[in-house]
Amino acid sequence: MVAHQQNRVKDEFFGAMQHPEEMLKEYPLPSMLLMFGLGIGVGVLVSHALCSTLMDTFEEPTMTEKVKRQLYDAVSSVVPPSMLKQLQHYTS
């Protein structure tokens, strides 16, 4: 029984692949929903690929990096240049 059912499904699949227009006319709503789902899936994959490459180029600094930069800028106007070189060594 299971083998017969598998053969029937396989025959329907290959029949649909050979005559897609007939399947579209016979099942318009499932065909449309399938294409809509495929479009959404492809769109998500493409947007994820594009956004991940863009996010790598525009990496936002963390909060600690921002605070470190603000402290360095504030201290750099007060501390002599010889000490700034030492601070740059510690902050980089």
Average pLDDT over residues 65-87: 80
Domain-wise residue ranges, the chain: 1-59, 61-92
| pTM of the predicted model as reported, rounded to 2 decimal places | 0.45
Checking if the pLDDT of 13 tops 80, the result is no
Question: Is the C-alpha dihedral spanning 8, 23, 28, 38 positive or negative?
Answer: positive
Average pLDDT over residues 60-87: 80
Distance, in Å, from the CA atom of 7 to the CA atom of 40, rounded to the nearest integer, reads 32
CB atoms within 10 A of CB 16: 15
Distance, in Å, from the CA atom of 72 to the CA atom of 81, rounded to the nearest integer, reads 12
Q: Which position has the token pair 């000490």?
A: 83
User: 39 pLDDT band (50/70/90 cuts)?
Assistant: very high
Average pLDDT over residues 52-71: 76
Checking if the pLDDT of 6 tops 90, the result is no
pLDDT of residue 42: 92
